[in-house]
């Protein structure tokens, strides 16, 4: 399967300034859209074409999964093993970069010409266009931070992890790094706000309450919630209005989705996205 290249419109360049301004304003009425593993309907998940498609659609944030090769190169991969998404086998973090680069990504069951991207490649594509949520599937945070520094993408990349020890390691190196902790309850939210003064906090369906959202916003952070699963299925079938309203009823203002184009269309129609 050959992947057709995705052209990024010139008008998208420099858009990051307005996206970042919204991202850093927790009281904004605008709901930002985060694309899960970039846009992978046609393209492989966590791939360069999927990132370019997210930029073309006008998505605000891409979520990508980061692991580090045996020889220290941060690369994009969700699963511990490369089996599902490539023509290779085994754990990414036990293999060297040169061997991993020989593999090809799979999209919808079909082998493509796409390679596993490095984090550096992904960030350089995203730079100036879109924010990047780094879902840390690795404990090797030093190598990840080094890539962000070398690409000068501190203004677009933020670290996500449920493991606060990983986030604390990032935060101890530089307060310039942006962070998104996950909060499974009010105590975790309070702890996250005190520890990190984060730009955004990740909540879930069970913690989507007015009290939780209000606490996070008082801490000057945006509130991230997922549409993955049933809400996305409703959006996919054209019946997403109620599902979307349920997600944002208490003030959550970033939605992660596998249906970014459809979600953007709805939010723009009701004045919740520029």
**pLDDT at position 13 over 80:** no
Q: Per-residue confidence at 72, pLDDT binned at 50, 70, 90?
A: very high
Which tokens sit at 241? 């209005």
Looking at the domain assignment, is residue 137 inside a domain? yes
Distance set, CA 215 to CA 22, 124, 140, 167, 247 (Å): 19, 35, 31, 20, 17
- Model pLDDT for residues 165-211, shown as the tens digit of each residue: 999 999 999 999 999 999 999 999 999 999 999 999 999 999 999 99
pLDDT in tens, 137-154: 999 999 999 999 999 999
Per-residue pLDDT band at 23 (split at 50, 70, 90): very high
Indicate if the pLDDT at residue 39 is higher than 90.
yes
CA 256 to chain CA mean position, Å: 8
Residue 274: the pLDDT is: 87
Domain assignment present for 14: no
Q: Mean pLDDT over residues 80-100, rounded?
A: 98
Residue 46 has φ and ψ, to the nearest 5°, of 55, 40
DSSP string over 151-170:
HT-TTTEEEEES-HHHHHHH
Do the domain assignments include residue 1? no
Distances (CA, A) of 125 to 49, 101, 121, 235: 10, 18, 6, 28
Q: What is the pLDDT of residues 220-247, one digit of tens each?
A: 999 999 999 999 999 999 999 999 999 9
**Sign for the pseudo-dihedral over CA of 229, 138, 83, 76:** positive
Vertex 203, ends 235 and 212: CA angle to 5°?
Answer: 120
- Find how far residue 157's CA is from the centre of its chain: 9
Within a domain: 196: yes
Indicate the pTM of the whole model.
Answer: 0.94
The band of 4, judged by pLDDT with boundaries at 50, 70 and 90, is very low
Instruction: Say if residues 64 and 122 touch (Cβ distance below 8 Å).
Output: yes
Position 13 in a domain: no
Q: Which two tokens stand for residue 40?
A: 């992978």
Q: How far is CA 100 from the centre of its chain?
A: 23
Q: CA 234 to CA 242: how far, in whole Å? A: 9
Task: Answer whether residue 94 is part of any domain.
Answer: yes
The Cβ of residue 84 has, within 10 Å, a number of other Cβ atoms equal to 10
Q: Cα(74)–Cα(189) distance, rounded to whole angstroms?
A: 29
Dihedral pair phi/psi, residue 212, rounded to 5° = -65, -50
Q: Is the pLDDT of residue 7 over 80?
A: no
Residue 3 included in any domain:
no
> What whole-number distance in Å separates Cα of residue 105 and Cα of residue 109?
10
Question: For the chain, what is the domain count?
Answer: 1
Residue 216 resides in a domain: yes
CA 124, 127, 128, 130 torsion-angle sign? positive
pLDDT over 90 for what percent of the chain?
Answer: 93
Angle at 217 between CA 27 and CA 268, to 5 degrees: 40
Which residue range(s) make up the domain with 211? 31-269
CA dihedral 148, 150, 153, 157 (to 10 degrees): 0
CATH for 136: 3.20.20.190
pLDDT score of 95 more than 80:
yes
Do strands 178-181 and 106-107 pair parallel, antiparallel, or not at all (unpaired)? unpaired
């Amino acid at each position: 399967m050959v992947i057709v290249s995705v052209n990024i419109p010139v008008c998208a360049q420099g858009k990051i300034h307005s996206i970042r301004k919204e991202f850093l304003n927790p009281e904004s009425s605008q709901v930002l859209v985060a694309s899960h593993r970039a846009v992978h309907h046609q393209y492989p998940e966590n791939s360069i074409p999927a990132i370019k498609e997210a930029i073309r659609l006008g998505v605000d944030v891409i979520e990508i999964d980061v692991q580090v090769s045996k020889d220290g190169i941060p690369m994009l991969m969700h699963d511990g093993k490369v089996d599902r998404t490539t023509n290779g086998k085994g754990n990414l973090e036990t293999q060297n970069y040169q061997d991993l680069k020989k593999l090809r990504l799979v999209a919808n069951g079909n082998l493509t010409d796409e390679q596993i991207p490095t984090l550096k490649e992904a960030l350089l594509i995203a730079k100036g266009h879109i924010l990047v949520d780094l879902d840390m599937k690795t404990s090797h945070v030093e190598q990840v931070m080094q890539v962000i520094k070398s690409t000068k993408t501190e203004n677009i990349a933020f670290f996500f992890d449920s493991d606060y020890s990983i986030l604390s390691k990032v935060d101890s190196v530089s307060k310039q790094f942006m962070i998104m902790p996950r909060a499974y309850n009010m105590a975790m939210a309070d702890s996250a706000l005190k520890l990190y003064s984060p730009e955004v906090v990740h909540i879930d369906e069970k913690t989507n309450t007015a009290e939780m959202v209000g606490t996070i916003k008082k801490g000057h952070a945006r509130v991230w919630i997922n549409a993955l699963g049933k809400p996305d299925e409703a959006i996919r079938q054209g019946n997403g209005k109620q599902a979307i309203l349920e997600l944002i009823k208490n003030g959550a203002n970033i939605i992660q989705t596998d249906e970014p184009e459809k979600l953007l269309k709805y939010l723009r129609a009701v004045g919740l996205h520029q």
